[in-house]
Amino acid sequence: MRAAVLTDVGRMEVQSVPVRPPGPHDVRVRVTAVGLCGTDFHIFEGHSNYHTDERGLPVPLPLAPQILGHEIVGIVEERGRDVRSPAVGDQVVVDQGINCVSARRAERCEYCATGDSHQCAFYAEHGITGLPGGLADFVTVPAANVIRTGAGLSRADAALTEPLGCVVHASDAVARAGARYALAHDEPARRVRHVLVCGGGPAGLLFIQYLRQALGWDGPILVSEPNARKRALAARFGAEPLDPAVDVVDAVHERTSGRRVEYLIDASGAADVFRKMPGLIRKQASVLLYGHGHAGADLSVLNNVQFLEPMLVSPVGASGGFLDDGRPETYRRALDLIESGRVQTGPIVTHQYQSLDEVPAAFAGAHRDVDYVKGVVAL
């Protein structure tokens, strides 16, 4: 089969690679769409490498080239002998993570036993930790890792199931954290009055919709985002974009009458968020560290943040327990939100690529286009 293979930092080539046949409990999926994630770009550009050896040290790309792509949609083309569902021909979304349940371990590790399957003690991940990802003709995964979509759902919309699942998981983690302020606290004085979302990219736009459409929160959602197209989408989904000409600290101070926000979601991964955080959050606020990166931030910026005693929550992935058939519960919830139309993904997808041959150029710089919000490779 053909695949877009990352052979070194900044170097991706379309190559011929072997197809792994399905084992007894696996399915072989013909890939029809793959969402391009910020994590993919970080790996491509050499800012991170999650394929590590037994000592936790990154394995260099020239020694172990990677096939990226973890937001995967496809059609089941072959089933292992013991697989009864899904059927050949079904469109499915893929949970890229291999955990105790999908690997059929006799005993679940402590993380899988508590619904934190993304932190499975034996975790591996297609497209991120070295297992082949979706930027290929086919991907072979356990049948428990796929969820059938409705017939009417487009492949591009379905590709945002994984990132929305991450938003669902992250929001659940904040709700469980027991911080001073909550979106719907029993005590009025401890209810969140203002939310600030830093970053209006795909994650920020999904968080806005999840707050409005899934959690039913009707308070002000402020969004700090320099890009005009993303600000327009944020407003469309029910948020209040802040004027990029005004410093975000000054804007938040004015909008909250000096109170600052009780809930900050960093969906940007920008170092400047930590630098400005002391001027953005109320004491003992909740801070969701969702975006990765923060390059250029000296750890000393945490001094004034720590002084305010915020609840820092840093979940990753789309774990959240299992359905009765072993499939990922969080993916099911995310897919339901997309299929019902409560969360709109179509407006977020601004760039589509029609073949694997277009993928190297997409990684080389197309995502830096001023109108780029989210890219999907639709094969």
- pLDDT tens figures, 25-58: 999 999 999 999 999 999 999 988 999 998 999 9
Query: pLDDT at position 373, please?
Result: 96
Cβ(242)–Cβ(222) below 8 Å: yes
Instruction: Sort 369 into a burial class: Cβ within 10 Å, 0-12 / 13-18 / 19+.
Output: exposed
* Angle, CA of 196, 115 and 32, to the nearest 5°: 75
What are the structural domain ranges in the chain?
2-160+345-378, 166-313
Amino acid at 38: G
- Whether the CB-CB separation of 70 and 39 falls below 8 Å is answered with yes
Query: Which DSSP letter does residue 346 get?
Result: G
Task: Flag residues of the chain having pLDDT under 50.
Answer: none
**DSSP, res 53:** -
Q: pLDDT, tens digit, for every residue of 312-365?
A: 999 999 988 899 999 999 999 999 999 999 999 999 999 999 999 999 999 998
Contact in structure between 206 and 160 (CB atoms under 8 Å) = yes
Topology, domain 166-313: Rossmann fold (3.40.50)
pLDDT of residue 2: 98
CATH of 2-160+345-378, one of 1.10.10.10, 3.40.50.2300, 3.90.180.10, 3.90.1150.10: 3.90.180.10
Structure token digits, residue 213: 């459409």
Give the Cα separation of 46 and 375 in Å (integer): 20
For residue 91, what pLDDT is reported? Answer: 98
Q: How many CA atoms lie within 13 A of 22 on its CB side?
A: 23
pLDDT digits (tens, 9 = 90+) for 364-379: 987 788 899 999 999 9
